[in-house]
Structure 1
Amino acid sequence: MIEHFSTRDVASGERLAYWNRIAATQSAELMIDSRNREFRGDLGCWKLGRLAIMKARAEASVVSRQAVPYGDERLLVHLQTRGSSDQRQLGRECLLRPGDLSICTTAAPMRIETVSHEMLVLKLLRSELERRVPQLDLHIGSPTPGNSPAVHSFHQLLLALWREAEIRTAPPSADWETDAETLLLDLLGLALRGAVRGGPNVDGRGLARVKAIVDARLGDPELDTALVAQEVGISPRTIQHWLAAEGTTLRAYVLEHRLERALDLLAADRRSSITAIAMELGFNDPAYFARCFRKRYGFSPSQGREVPRG
């Protein structure tokens, strides 16, 4: 039931390249780097229903991942079982010690620096955890300590399921797989719901980058959350989370700044028509621009030309 890979039978100068090929096969956009030419690593992979479970044991290395721009977003649950790892994603950093776990997303770049270590990794669709954990974004990139009863129970269940897979000589029934998968996800949800988070975790530098991109591209009619997220290198949900902490959305933020810029241009540029100014600021429909402008300021764009600007 478990597929095993190891560098032990690979020539020393080829081990890291082999390890990277295996890693990319099991998890897209993943890359491992190490200073040790004698790099050693062992990996076990198992499918449990819709879940992919991996057990990795390797020497000190740097694991990095580019955002996966295609397919459904997936989450990676890293459960440290030996050694330690320093993980960074979405402007957050967490140090995992044995028993601790973290959640990473495939929708944003990730970097993990490890010493000699062992780790259990659970790969699942975001939707499977999202319906079990409110405000899931607060947990992504943040550590969940292993000293809580729920995390300990999740850890023990995952180890027990792995040992069961190691000794089985025949595949389990579909009902057994479904029940085991549900139990594992329910325990993980319980562990995350019980974790104390210090409120919305907003990366100030990342949010400033988002706002700078919006200001620079106000005239782009295609400007949306997906475009900005791709340029910053984070997930659209992260942008939504950051702006929600400020009580707004990207769409509302873009509209507000377009209208503020429009008011300035109407007073400063008398030669350009109102339609030209609207188009310059990314409004494809002048009538829609006029409605938004009146709703925001209480007067029409033509009246806005007479408003003194200090």
Structure 2
Amino acid sequence: MDSGFYETSWDGAPQGRPAWIDRVSTQGMSCRVDAYRSGASSFTFAGAGQTGIINVNLAWQSVSPATRCDASNWNGEHLFVKVVKSGTMSIEQRGQTTTFGPGDIAVVDPLHTFNESFCEPTRVSILRMPKSALRERGLRHQFAAICCPNPASADVVAVRGFVLNLASLAGHASDALLARLGEQCLDLMDVLVNDRDGPATGRTSAATVLRAKQVIARRIGDPELSVVSLAAELNISISCLTRALKASGLSPMRHAWAMRVEHAAQLLARAPQGAIQDVAYQCGFASAAHFSRAFKERYGMTPREYAASHKTSRGGAARPNVNGSPDSAG
């Protein structure tokens, strides 16, 4: 996901109309501007991990995905969550037109062609979310028509506030923070997209797997992590946990050890000479010897050899151990 910030604008003057239409087309959208009226318009884009943040200010124009467009935005693999901040937005899709005012939310699936019209100055914040991320979370990710979450729901109002807060940080917060907030926003999308009356078994299992992975990642340095403690933290039975993970081809502790070794490799690539034992403990290994065996099984070399190879590739000469003693985890 591109995390760069992009911004473009048009002051609404007639002479700038062709250039504005061209700039919109670079985003895979066809733009039609009212022949008699126009207003200041702009849009910004920023990445938030897997999620894209788009803020638009449009007046007296309509936009739709270009009919012949290779842009990845419109290949049907994303959903667009649109929150109207001011003005009015009308969306026509599959013969039905829905109008949205301030505070309203529209979830649009571009798998079906749509057209948006703005007949007055209108500000909209949009999140572009990959369907793959929603599938991983067991969430609904395909819509035959526009999804309109209930704006009177307290939960919907809370998530709308989170979405708008994330959108307001585009171009201001760090890429790392935006990515974290983007992931949290994906986790909250069940409030907007799931059918509360539909079957819950599939999404419950997927949610269990996701939550288990998140806990394992957070406790990667905890040597006390076990299936028992993991199930207790998730407030589910051990059998429920193992069954959900097994359905996804995972074993709780095998996944934990794999994540620990991968995290150790990242640390070793930039660790100073003599820090191998520290890395072992940071990644939840009870002993340097266990760490060395697990690491060699995964990468085909010892932690010391791996660290040395990365120092060589960076062009830095290995420094001697200041204590004059060899590392204990060869």
Q: TM-score range by the shorter chain?
A: 0.5 to 0.7
Q: Which amino acid aligns with 1:82?
A: S
Q: Which amino acid aligns with 1:23?
A: V
Q: What is the match of residue 54 of structure 1?
A: 54
Q: What is the match of residue 109 of structure 1?
A: 113
Matches within 5 A, 1:1-310: 2-8=5-11, 12-26=13-27, 28-36=28-36, 38-67=38-67, 72-73=75-76, 74-116=78-120, 117-132=122-137, 135-138=140-143, 140-168=145-173, 171-173=174-176, 176-193=177-194
Structure 2 gaps, min length 5: 199-330
Q: Provide closer, same or farther for how the CA distance between residues 196 and 2 of structure 1 changes in structure 2, counting only shifts above 3 A.
A: farther
In 1, the alpha carbon distance for the partners of 2:138 and 2:106 equals 14
Given that 1:134 and 1:193 are in contact with CA atoms closer than 8 Å, whether structure 2 keeps it comes out as yes
Secondary structure, aligned partner of 2:46: strand
Q: Provide closer, same or farther for how the CA distance between residues 165 and 38 of structure 1 changes in structure 2, counting only shifts above 3 A.
A: closer
In 2, the alpha carbon distance for the partners of 1:22 and 1:46 equals 16
Q: Deviations over 1:204-236 (max 9, x none)?
A: xxxxxxxxxxxxxxxxxxxxxxxxxxxxxxxxx
Q: Deviations over 1:229-251 (max 9, x none)?
A: xxxxxxxxxxxxxxxxxxxxxxx
Given that 2:89 and 2:101 are in contact with CA atoms closer than 8 Å, whether structure 1 keeps it comes out as yes
How far the C-alpha of 1:133 sits from its partner, in A, is 6.1
In 2, the alpha carbon distance for the partners of 1:80 and 1:186 equals 21
How far the C-alpha of 1:41 sits from its partner, in A, is 0.3
Structure 1 gaps, min length 5: 198-310
Q: Provide closer, same or farther for how the CA distance between residues 137 and 163 of structure 1 changes in structure 2, counting only shifts above 3 A.
A: closer
Q: Provide closer, same or farther for how the CA distance between residues 37 and 87 of structure 1 changes in structure 2, counting only shifts above 3 A.
A: closer
How far the C-alpha of 1:132 sits from its partner, in A, is 4.2
Secondary structure, aligned partner of 1:17: helix
Given that 2:50 and 2:183 are in contact with CA atoms closer than 8 Å, whether structure 1 keeps it comes out as no
Secondary structure, aligned partner of 2:79: strand
In 2, the alpha carbon distance for the partners of 1:4 and 1:179 equals 22
Q: Provide closer, same or farther for how the CA distance between residues 196 and 99 of structure 1 changes in structure 2, counting only shifts above 3 A.
A: farther
Number of equivalent positions: 190
In 2, the alpha carbon distance for the partners of 1:4 and 1:65 equals 19
Given that 1:15 and 1:39 are in contact with CA atoms closer than 8 Å, whether structure 2 keeps it comes out as no
Q: Provide closer, same or farther for how the CA distance between residues 29 and 6 of structure 1 changes in structure 2, counting only shifts above 3 A.
A: closer
Secondary structure, aligned partner of 2:152: coil
In 2, the alpha carbon distance for the partners of 1:111 and 1:196 equals 30
In 2, the alpha carbon distance for the partners of 1:91 and 1:38 equals 27
Aligned alpha-carbon RMSD (Å) = 2.9
Secondary structure, aligned partner of 1:143: coil
Q: Provide closer, same or farther for how the CA distance between residues 148 and 187 of structure 1 changes in structure 2, counting only shifts above 3 A.
A: same
The percentage of counterpart residues that share the same residue type is 15
Q: Which amino acid aligns with 1:14?
A: Q
In 2, the alpha carbon distance for the partners of 1:30 and 1:130 equals 29
Secondary structure, aligned partner of 2:162: helix
Q: What is the match of residue 215 of structure 1?
A: none
Q: Provide closer, same or farther for how the CA distance between residues 179 and 167 of structure 1 changes in structure 2, counting only shifts above 3 A.
A: closer
Q: Provide closer, same or farther for how the CA distance between residues 13 and 196 of structure 1 changes in structure 2, counting only shifts above 3 A.
A: farther
In 1, the alpha carbon distance for the partners of 2:37 and 2:185 equals 38
Q: Which amino acid aligns with 2:17?
A: L
Given that 1:98 and 1:146 are in contact with CA atoms closer than 8 Å, whether structure 2 keeps it comes out as no
In 2, the alpha carbon distance for the partners of 1:150 and 1:81 equals 18
Q: Provide closer, same or farther for how the CA distance between residues 38 and 134 of structure 1 changes in structure 2, counting only shifts above 3 A.
A: closer
Secondary structure, aligned partner of 1:47: strand
Given that 1:102 and 1:140 are in contact with CA atoms closer than 8 Å, whether structure 2 keeps it comes out as no
Secondary structure, aligned partner of 2:170: helix
